[in-house]
């Protein structure tokens, strides 16, 4: 066995069928862990807001904690969802052109959704 100049890390980095190593897997777990408290907070909050009018909802969302938590929930949720949908598409869509187009459309839609959410939340936070 000849000694290689490459480190062990250098040799394994970026392997895997998509060439992205463990980054996808790891991001899916990190967002999952972040979503545990966030979804619980969200369900409890929505229950408390059942039947509330716009004034009540907006006032609630404009509170810094709720504004931050909702931003994190939507942000982590969209990132996690986008990573998850990628795997679903890769599993079921075998024709390469359709798969690549589908992945691109899905990722684009995810960015758009995040933008709409960010603008909406900021607007509520700033203007009520």
Partner 1 sequence: MSNRDRPLSPHLQIYRPQITSVLSILHRATGVALVAGLLALVYWLAAAAAGDAAFAAAQGFLASWIGRLLLLAWTFAVFFHLANGIRHLVWDMGRGFELKTVTASGWLVVAVSAVLTLLTWVAAYGLRGSGT
The answer to whether residue 22 forms part of the interface with partner 1 (CB under 8 A) is no
Task: Copy the structure tokens of residue 114.
Answer: 């995040």
Residue 66: name its binding partner from partner 1, ligand HEM, none (Cβ under 5 to 8 Å by kind): none
**Rounded distance between C-alpha atoms, residue 99 and residue 89, angstroms:** 7
The answer to whether residue 33 forms part of the interface with partner 1 (CB under 8 A) is yes
With respect to partner 1, which residue has the nearer C-beta, 8 or 92? 92
Task: Copy the structure tokens of residue 63.
Answer: 């509170």
Select from 18, 88, 98, 100 the one that contacts partner 1 (CB under 8 A): 88
Residues that bind partner 1 (CB under 8 A): 29, 32-33, 35-36, 39-40, 43, 46-48, 50-51, 54, 57-58, 61, 70, 74, 77-78, 81, 84-85, 88, 94-96, 113, 116-117, 119-121, 123-124
């Amino acid at each position: 066995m000849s000694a290689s100049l490459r480190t062990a890390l250098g040799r394994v980095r970026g392997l895997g069928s998509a060439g992205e190593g463990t980054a996808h897997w790891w991001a899916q777990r990190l967002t999952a862990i972040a979503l545990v408290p966030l979804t619980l907070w969200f369900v409890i909050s929505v229950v408390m807001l059942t039947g509330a009018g716009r004034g009540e909802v907006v006032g609630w969302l404009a509170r810094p904690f709720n504004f931050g938590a909702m931003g994190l929930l939507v942000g982590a949720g969209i990132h996690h969802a986008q990573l998850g949908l990628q795997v679903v598409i890769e599993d079921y869509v075998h024709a390469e052109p359709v798969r690549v187009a589908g992945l691109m459309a899905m990722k684009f839609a995810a960015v758009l959704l995040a933008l709409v959410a960010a603008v909406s939340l900021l607007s509520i936070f700033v203007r009520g």
